[in-house]
Structure 1
Amino acid sequence: MTTILHIDSSILGGYSVSRALTSDIVAKQRALHPGARVIRRDLVVDAVLHLSDAHIAVFRGGEVSSPALGQDVAMGGAYIDDLFAADIIVIGAPMYNFSIPSQLKGWIDRVCVAGRTFQYGANGPEGLLKGKKVFIASTRGGVYTGDSPAAPLDYQESYLRSVLGFIGLVDVTIIRAEGLNVSEAAKAAAVAKAKTEIAALAA
C-alpha cells in the first residue's frame, strides 16, 4: 500500500495558497494510488520546539529534564519514522523573507540526523532515504525565476533541493505559484498554472 506524507508549514490557515496546493497534490496522488494511506503533519499545529542545549544533552545520552522535553524529542523521532514510512512526500513551502518558514526549518533540523537519515562514509555523506518521490508546493509573493532581478534572493527552493538531496530525497518535483502579491490577476494566473501542473501529474 502506498503511503503519502502530507506536510504543511504556512501560518495563513485557510488563506494559504501552499496549503490549497498540497491538498490538491495529495488528492491527485490518492487518485493515482487508490487505497493510499496519508500521514498528516501540520507543522503549525503540532510543531516541535526549536533545538536547544537541553535537546543536545539528551541526544548525547543525558537525562530528559521534563515531560515536555521528552514529548518533544519523541515527536522529532516520529518525524523521521514518517519519512521512512512514506513512499510519496508532499511539502507545502511558502517563501518567508526569501527562505522557508521557521516551522519547516524546525522539521528539517529534526530529520537531518547522522546515522538515521544520512551517514558519512569513505566517499563523503550519503543520504539514507532512497526511492521516494517528493512534491513541493512552493509559493512566493514576488517573482524569483528566470531573469527576475530578485532571482538571487531565492534561498527557499534552492535550500530545499539541497537539504532534501543530502538525506537521499533526490526525486523532487516543484509545483510553483509565484507573484502572488503582484496583483489579483497575477495571483489567479499563478494558481491556475499550478493547478494545471498538478492535474497533469502522472504516477
Structure 2
Amino acid sequence: MLADSMGRAFLVVLDRLGPAERVAFVLHDMFAVPFDEIAPVVDRSLAAAKQLASRARSKVRGAPAVSGAELARQRLVVEAFLAAVRAGDIDAVLAVLAPDAVRRADRAALREGRPVEVRGARFVAEEIAVFGRNVRVAEVVLIDGAVGIAVAPYGRLRLALTVETARERITGYELIADPNRLQQLDLAVLDEAITLGG
C-alpha cells in the first residue's frame, strides 16, 4: 500500500500540491521521467514543467524556522512524546512534558465537555487518551517550520499538533482539527528516508 511505503506525512504534503505540481513532482522526482516528457502531460513548456517540480519540491521539503541543530532537538523530543503515547506509558509521557505543560485545543478537536485548555503535566498526560486513539495514524512532520505531529488516516489530515519545546521537554501543544485551520497550516515532510531530486 502506498500509504505504508511512502508514509502518511508524505501523502498529506503531496495532497496539498496543485494538480500540475503534483504530477511534475511525482513523475520527475519519484519516477525519473525527463522534463521533456512531463511538459506535454502538464500542458506546459519545458521551463514551466521544471518550475512546477521545483516549486513542489520546495513545498515538500519545507523551510524550518530554526537551525538544523534546534530542529534535530525538537524532533527527538516530539518523537519521544509520540513513542510514549503509542506505548501508553504515562510515566514516559510525563518524562517528556515540562511540569507546567499546557495542552490547548480548538473546539473541533474536542469531545463535548472537554476543556479548551489543560495546564500541568499530570493533567495534560491524563488528557493524552483523547489524542491516543489516533496515535497509530500519527507521524512527525514539519508544521509552520517547527516539528509537530500530523494525524492522517488514509493520508488525509484530520488532526495536527503544533508543539512547543524547551530544554528537552514539551512545554505545550495545541490540537487543531478545524478544517479551515488545518488548511492554513504549512506542512512539510520531516523524513530523510524520502530522497528528493535536485
TM-score range, shorter chain: under 0.3
Q: Which has the higher contact order (CA 8 A, sep 6+)?
A: 2
TM-score, L = length of structure 2: 0.25
Query: Larger C-alpha radius of gyration, 1 or 2?
Result: 2
Higher helix share: 2
Q: What is the TM-score when the length of structure 1 is the normalising length?
A: 0.24
